[in-house]
Amino acid sequence: MIARFAACVVLFASSTIAQNLWLPRVFGDHMVLQRNESVAVWGRGISGDAVEVAGSWGGEAATGTVAVDGTFRVALRTPGASGPHQLRVKVGNDTRTFEDVLVGEVWVCSGQSNMEWSVRRSADPEKTAQGATESRLRFCVVPNVTAVAPQEDCEAEWVVSTPETTSGLSAVGYHFARKLIAQYDVPVGMIQSDWGGTPAESWTSDAGLRPLGDFDERLDKLAELAANPDAAEAAFQSRLDSWREAFAKAEPGSKAAWHKADFDDAGWKTATLPGNWEDTELGRIDGTVWYRRTVSIPPEWKGRSLTIELGPVDDNDVTWLNGVEIGATNAWNKPRRYFVRGSSAPTGEVSLAVRVHDTGGGGGFHGQSEQMVVRRIDNGATISLAGEWRVHVGADNKELPAPPRKPGTTAHAPTSLFNGMIAPIVPFTMRGVIWYQGESNRTRAAQYRDLFPAMIRDWRAKWGRGDFPFYFVQIAPYGYSNDTGQAAELKEAQLRTMRDVRNTGMVVTTDVGNPRDIHPKDKKTVGERLAAWAIAETYRDAGVACRGPSLHKMTVDGAAVSLHFRDADGLHAGPDGPTCFTVAGSDRAFHPATAKIEGTCVVVSCDAVAAPVAVRFGWGATDEPALKNAAGLPASPFRTDDWPMVTAK
Per-residue pLDDT of 124-182, as tens digits, reads: 877 787 778 899 999 999 988 999 999 999 999 999 999 888 888 999 999 999 999 99
d(CA 338, CA 328): 8
* Alpha carbon distance, N-terminus to C-terminus of the chain: 43
- Stretch 441-468: mean pLDDT, rounded? 98
pLDDT at 18: 58
Query: Cα–Cα–Cα angle for 298, 386, 519, nearest 5°?
Result: 155
Residue 66: is its pLDDT beyond 90?
Answer: yes
**Residue 341 confidence (pLDDT) above 50:** yes
Torsion on CA atoms 323, 327, 329, 333, rounded to nearest 10: -100
Reported confidence tier of residue 12, pLDDT bands at 50, 70, 90: very low
Strand arrangement of the beta sheet that strand 316-321 belongs to: 269-273, 387-396, 287-297, 348-357, 316-321, 324-330
Exposed / middle / buried, residue 374 (Cβ in 10 Å: 0-12, 13-18, 19+): buried
Going through 211-370 in order, the beta strands assigned E by DSSP cover 269-273, 275-276, 287-297, 306-314, 316-321, 324-330, 335-340, 348-357, 364-365
Beta-carbon contacts of residue 86 (< 8 Å; ≥ 6 apart): 55, 56, 97, 98, 99, 101
- Cα 569 vs. chain centroid, distance in angstroms? 35
CA distance 363 to 277: 6
3-state secondary structure 35-90: CCCEEEEEEECCCCCEEEEEECCCCCCEEEECCCCCEEEEEEECCCCEEEEEEEEE
3-state secondary structure 554-585: EEEECCEEEEEEECCCCCECCCCCCCCEEEEC
Q: What percent of the chain has pLDDT over 90?
A: 80
Statement: residue 329 has pLDDT above 90? no
The answer to whether 310 and 321 are in contact (CB under 8 A) is: no
602-607 average pLDDT score: 97
Residue 437 has pLDDT above 90, yes or no: yes
pLDDT given at position 31: 98
Domain ranges of the chain: 252-399, 550-639
Identify the DSSP state of 210.
G
Percent of the chain with pLDDT over 70: 97
**214-227 per-position pLDDT tens digit:** 999 999 989 988 88
CATH 2.60.120.260 is held by the domain 252-399: yes
What pLDDT does residue 120 have?
A: 84
Determine the average pLDDT of the residues in 35-52.
98
Average pLDDT, the chain: 92
- Residues making up the chain, counted from first to last: 649
Three-state SS for 363?
coil
CA dihedral (161, 163, 169, 171) in degrees, to 10, reads: 100
Measured CA to CA, the distance from residue 358 to residue 313 in angstroms comes to 9
Strands 82-91 and 275-276: unpaired
Q: Which residues fall within 8 angstroms of residue 126, CB to CB, at 6 or more apart?
A: none
Identify the pLDDT of residue 434: 98
Question: Which pLDDT belongs to residue 333?
Answer: 66
Least confident of 120-124, 263-267, 419-423: 120-124
Does residue 17 have a pLDDT over 70? no
Per-residue confidence at 60, pLDDT binned at 50, 70, 90? very high
Could you give the CA distance from residue 154 to residue 36 in angstroms, rounded to a whole number?
27
Q: Provide the pLDDT for residue 131.
A: 75
Nearest to 330 by CA among 279, 260, 391, 403: 403
Identify the band that residue 10 occupies on the pLDDT scale cut at 50, 70 and 90. very low
How many Å apart are CA 136 and CA 384, to the nearest integer? Answer: 29
The mean per-residue pLDDT over the stretch 455-482 comes to 97
Burial of 29 (0-12, 13-18, 19+ CB in 10 A): middle
Which of 233-242, 280-289, 375-384, 506-515 tops mean pLDDT? 506-515
pLDDT at 55 over 80: yes
Q: Parallel, antiparallel, or unpaired: how do β-strands 62-65 and 581-584 relate?
A: unpaired
Residue-wise pLDDT tens digits, 571-604: 999 898 999 999 999 999 999 999 999 999 999 9
Task: Write the single-letter amino acid at 93.
Answer: N
Question: Which pLDDT tens digit goes with each residue over 98-126?
Answer: 999 999 999 999 999 999 998 988 888 77
Residue 493 CA: distances (Å) to CA of 459, 482, 490, 506, 632: 19, 20, 5, 11, 23
What is the C-alpha to C-alpha distance for residues 504 and 497, in angstroms, rounded to an integer?
8
As a whole number of angstroms, the distance between CA 178 and CA 162 comes to: 13
What's the burial of 188, exposed, middle or buried (CB within 10 Å: 0-12/13-18/19+)?
buried
Is pLDDT of 306 > 60?
A: yes
pTM of the model as a whole: 0.83
Residue 207, H or E segment:
helix 206-209
pLDDT at 14 over 60: no
Name which residue leads in pLDDT, 369 or 530: 530
Q: Decide if pLDDT at 483 tops 80.
A: yes
- Residue 5: pLDDT above 70? no
